[in-house]
A = this chain, B = another copy of it.
């Protein structure tokens, strides 16, 4: 709980190097980013719509959700951010917030000034590229979510969310693939899944009765991963969580920018 800023930045660095190759100087630059941690309660708006954002934040502990809203005051979560995630890295290049960022549970965040992130990106093109890549992967996850909401029914959609959370919690080093501290009220789950809380309840009941997974206030436990994946039509590739910086993939692709800077 009481993690030092240093620990958090190491976790961020681990996340970045999973997908982008960073040299020693660049890694040091990331670890030396300035920032201050704040702790917020569930429902607290870290960013409000229309606000001009000056800091990006890393989730240290807890969970943040990105929200859109229609006139009927129905909310729709468009992204969930776990410990180690840069929740609004994109605000560095588009500082006018078009969606809110809200704590889903008691949450600690580390706020890093845009100026520091820009300076890091300016000094190290590989960092600029890593930031760009993180934003693109964020969009890929969002893209999968459109497919989810548009083309899967409530059961499959809920199962898909659980699969995604399982993979992301595991990658973040929190809990295991089959048991992790993912717990939202059914109301908030409805905001994520585009369902009413009543239907969320019925859907979770099916997953429970079929002995596939339990999603409760005390966390999530998966009893039958294979069946869950099947119901969800889940393919984890889009999360880009498997390291690629050791093969010839990303590293090779990076070279042109590296060489000419």
Contact = CB atoms under 8 A, between A and B. Distances in A.
Interface of A: 66, 68-72, 74, 76, 78-79, 90, 93-96, 98-99, 114-115, 118-119, 121-123, 125, 128-129, 131-133, 135-140, 142-147, 149-152, 194, 233, 237-238, 240, 249, 253, 256-261
B122 A261 contact: yes
Copies in the complex: 2
Contact of A66 (B74, B143, B258): B143
Nearest to A150: B194
Contacts of A137: 94
Given A68-B143, A152-B70, A257-B118, A237 B94 contact: no
A99 B90 CA distance: 22
A157 to B, nearest CB: 10
A133 B93 contact: yes
A121 B78 CA distance: 29
A78 B260 contact: no
A70 B234 CA distance: 9
Nearest to A195: B150
> Chain A interface secondary structure, helix, strand, loop or mixed?
helix
Contacts of A143: 66, 68, 78-79, 98-99, 142
Q: Which 9 A-B pairs have the closest CB atoms?
A: A150-B194, A139-B139, A68-B147, A122-B257, A118-B256, A93-B133, A122-B260, A90-B136, A132-B132
Contact of A78 (B71, B147, B194): B147
A224 to B, nearest CB: 19
A93 to B, nearest CB: 4
A94 B74 CA distance: 33
A243 to B, nearest CB: 14
A147 B122 CA distance: 34
Given A90-B136, A145-B146, A233-B70, A95 B253 contact: yes
